[in-house]
Structure 1
């Protein structure tokens, strides 16, 4: 099989492609593993991997995390083309995600598209599986809220390499520059921190749970740090508390937060999100602390619940319905321009939607 005038990975690619065409590797069936192909063809795994990757990019194969590489049934899927949009979110029970979905639906219904929704439950393997299911069902494009832990998943980067129409919402992916519509989390956290500084607070801590990987969380941390730096705080005055809700129950978390803020004489708290803000309010109630007398707190999201607790929470409002609406708008533009030779149709578009400080009863002058 060796042809010295042709790169080896190209020869492997042609070998696999020929077996797809002659029916040895049948549509929607798994092909031999990389290890098996290496043994059969006496080549390196890197060579086989590159050949398979090219065939994935060209739409002949697709990968399912933990299950293998499958033959893509092009004839079947060409017959399924429709005005249907796929949407993959994490937990639609969350207020933010239900509003994202509402915004997406609002736009696509006006433009003659239907919607197929799938839930990934923050599982990158489920996300990869859902992406392939939607492609197999012939959706015109996909809107994705990436799962927290991407690990070694290449499902989203594969979409980019294939020039498949998709848009990310709420979060971006490190080292994968692609179309996305997200909140301006840096500016939101900056506003939250600046609000506390303007009220005279000098001991301000950023409190989060264990998650730190997503772009939205990293951007909020960046915004908090940026505000402190711009207002003259030193490095040792940039304070963080992170707890792991998988290892501790609520009472243990309350104790951890209480001990930290009392030991460090904290007067201001920037919470990663409103759920953490609500947890801190519950902690204060249990420990007989008064908000905002003993400390002020700012949340993030403007969820409905924090408007109606005993101390309505000052927070940073996001606008997920508008984010979903603009994500759908951007996706349909990409679908319509998919075969265009216009350079602008291949440009990456990232929209940062403004946030807004909502002042309520949980903050006051020190």
Structure 2
């Protein structure tokens, strides 16, 4: 039987005392030192529990004074026209991706008199589900879910199929779950990348996905790439196709581990001529490890990525990358929500956004 982490036990303790009125609105909760003694634990554990309750709007801090219980009467009024936007991460390398989605969502929702509240689950699936429950319990109008840290067969999102408010997924598609979704034309992009490599004379073409958790996104891109190779009678080398790695779930963004994996991939596949990678971050790591091995891009290996974000400016040769138009994803997700709230349309909606290949010197 799984043992609940101590921070979670502490968090639930504080939350219970807020809900039963022991800790009253606008009054301080016990200090960090008092909670450390009560639970015989470290300040790190206490802060983790309190941080989550602050992010979930149960508590707020006053610098140099203490931590207070949120005024829920005000909070409930504030949620009347609220849509919760929940990201799986706030990693600084994803900041441009996230901010563009926010801009797109806000542009549409503001015209309908709706506000957005943005939350980050920080790579923690349990935190993601807590935030979904909070949105439901606090009276939010709808939820936009950007990213999911679980594969479809294992996801706990199944628990929300009868959610009383609309849930729209961005950049993920769950075939067996009824949620609306806004996704990219990943298959078409993978196909275009393969066609581009082949036009440049590449025969040994690879795909690299740096994480262990597969998704509809990477499956679409890989399938498109493979189909373009089949259509052009290019032999598929299975050693070049990396659809998942052994990156641990809790360290899904361990860039040192990913770099080591890429390094070994390049060492073991010296016949590689063209590589399609999952995102610009992965491309940067490829560029770094190739340079360490004396491999030139694009002279030795051509490189195509996804994102077309600020990170492209780091590359000396310029990174060929798909612009995913994530601001449009945000806009379409907001439109789906408005349609559901106003027209009560209960038909599942899947919107696909076309990517644009921005050609630079890496391919």
Using the size of structure 1 for normalisation, the TM-score is 0.70
* Secondary structure of the structure 2 residue equivalent to 1:211: coil
Q: How does 1:130-209 map to 2 (within 5 A)?
A: 130-149=131-150, 152-154=154-156, 156-209=157-210
Name the CA distance, whole Å, in 2 between partners of 1:148 and 1:251.
21
Q: 1:250 to 1:228 in 2, by over 3 A?
A: closer
Q: Which whole-Å CA distance do the structure 1 matches of 2:343 and 2:83 have between them?
A: 16
How far the C-alpha of 1:78 sits from its partner, in A, is: 9.5
Which structure 1 residue ranges, 5 or more long, are not aligned?
1-27, 30-76, 339-344
> How far did 1:173 drift?
2.3
Change (3 A) 1:81 1:116: closer
* 2:265 alignment partner, one of 238, 257, 261: 257
Distance 1:137 1:289, change over 3 A: same
CA distance in structure 2 between the aligned counterparts of 1:307 and 1:157, rounded to whole angstroms: 40
Structure 1 distance, partners of 2:234, 2:178, is: 33
Aligned equivalent of 2:230: 229
Supply the distance in 2 between the matched residues of 1:183 and 1:271 (Cα, whole angstroms).
Answer: 16
Q: Which residue of 1 aligns with 2:33?
A: none
The answer to whether structure 1 residue 210 and structure 2 residue 211 are counterparts is yes
Change (3 A) 1:206 1:299: same
**Greater shift after overlay, 145-154 or 225-234?**
145-154
Flag the 1:287–1:108 CA change in 2: closer, same or farther, 3 A: same
Quick one: distance in 1 between partners of 2:87 and 2:98?
7
Partners of 1:355 and 1:220 lie apart in 2 by: 11
Q: 1:161 aligns to what SS in structure 2? A: coil
Indicate conservation of the 8 Å contact 2:259/2:285, yes or no: no
Q: Does 1:315 align with 2:321?
A: yes
Whether the aligned pair in 2 keeps the contact of 1:274 and 1:306 (CA below 8 Å) is yes
1:139 partner SS: coil
Confirm whether residue 361 of structure 1 aligns to residue 361 of structure 2: yes
Q: CA deviation at 1:221?
A: 1.4
Q: Find the counterpart in structure 2 of residue 70 from structure 1.
A: none
Q: Which moved more, 1:251-260 or 1:109-118?
A: 251-260
Instruction: Give yes or no for contact 1:104–1:324 (8 Å, CA) kept in 2.
Output: yes
Instruction: Tell me the CA shift for residue 145 of structure 1.
Output: 1.7
Name the stretch that deviates more: 350-359 or 239-248: 239-248
2:303 aligns to what SS in structure 1? strand
1:120-139 aligned within 5 A: 120-139=121-140
- Structure whose CA Rg is larger: 1
Note if 1:89 corresponds to 2:87.
Answer: yes
1:243 to 1:161, Cα distance in 2 relative to 1, 3 A: closer
2:204–2:237 CA contact under 8 A, matched in 1: no
Structure 2 residues not aligned, in runs of 5+: 1-18, 21-74
Query: Which of 263, 269, 278 lines up with 1:272 in the alignment?
Result: 278
Report Cα offsets for 1:51-99 as digits up to 9, x if no partner.
xxxxxxxxxxxxxxxxxxxxxxxxxx99886111111111233121221
CA RMSD, Structure 1 to Structure 2 (Å): 2.8
What CA distance in whole angstroms lies between the structure 2 residues aligned with 1:252 and 1:83?
A: 47
Using the size of structure 2 for normalisation, the TM-score is 0.71
Q: Is contact 1:185–1:220 with CA below 8 Å preserved after alignment?
A: yes
How far is 1:122 from its partner?
3.0
**Partner Cα distance (1:79, 1:357) in 2:** 45
How many residue pairs get aligned? The number is 283
Classify the secondary structure of the residue corresponding to 2:322: strand
Aligned counterpart, 1:299: 305
